[in-house]
């Protein structure tokens, strides 16, 4: 488990060109506004409510709803609710390292 200021994530499956993670975001918290050059992501909400920024739009997703984030798009995941938000993230691409995160804005000073 990898603890972050907004909650935590854990790797579930690792393949050559894909990986699957469980991401848990605490109520009122959010991840950095970011983009990736080498991977796309698919997010499926399995618990709670997600506020997702994707480029110029924001969408509210509930349980059993999902969104696709192509490589290069600017995105953010937020938990506007009062219970934990849990998503399953499927990453796919030629490079899946954590250093393929370009932070554009961050509540926790990590830009």
pLDDT tier for residue 109 given thresholds of 50, 70 and 90: confident
Centre a 10 Å sphere on the Cβ of residue 86 and count the other Cβ atoms it contains.
18
Q: How far is the C-alpha of 59 from the C-alpha of 21, rounded, in Å?
A: 21
Q: Is the model's pTM score more than 0.85?
A: yes
| pLDDT tens-digit map of 80-105 | 999 999 999 999 999 999 899 999 99
The pLDDT value recorded for residue 38 is 96
pLDDT at 111 over 90: no
How far apart CA 63 and CA 32 sit, in angstroms, is 22
Report the distance separating Cα 56 and Cα 61, nearest Å.
Answer: 16
Nearest to 57 by CA among 43, 42, 67, 49: 67
- CATH superfamily of the 2-89+99-105 domain: Jelly Rolls (2.60.120.10)
Give yes or no for residue 41 having a pLDDT over 80. yes
């Amino acid at each position: 488990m990898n603890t972050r200021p907004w909650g935590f994530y854990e790797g579930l499956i690792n393949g050559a060109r894909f990986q699957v993670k469980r991401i848990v975001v605490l109520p009122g918290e959010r991840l950095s506004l970011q983009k990736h050059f080498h991977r796309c992501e698919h997010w499926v909400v399995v618990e709670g409510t997600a506020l997702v920024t994707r480029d110029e739009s924001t969408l509210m997703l509930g349980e059993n709803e999902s969104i696709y984030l192509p490589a290069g798009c600017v995105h953010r995941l937020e938990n506007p609710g009062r219970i934990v938000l849990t998503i399953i993230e499927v990453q796919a691409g030629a490079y899946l390292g954590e250093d393929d995160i370009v932070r554009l804005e961050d509540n926790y000073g990590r830009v």
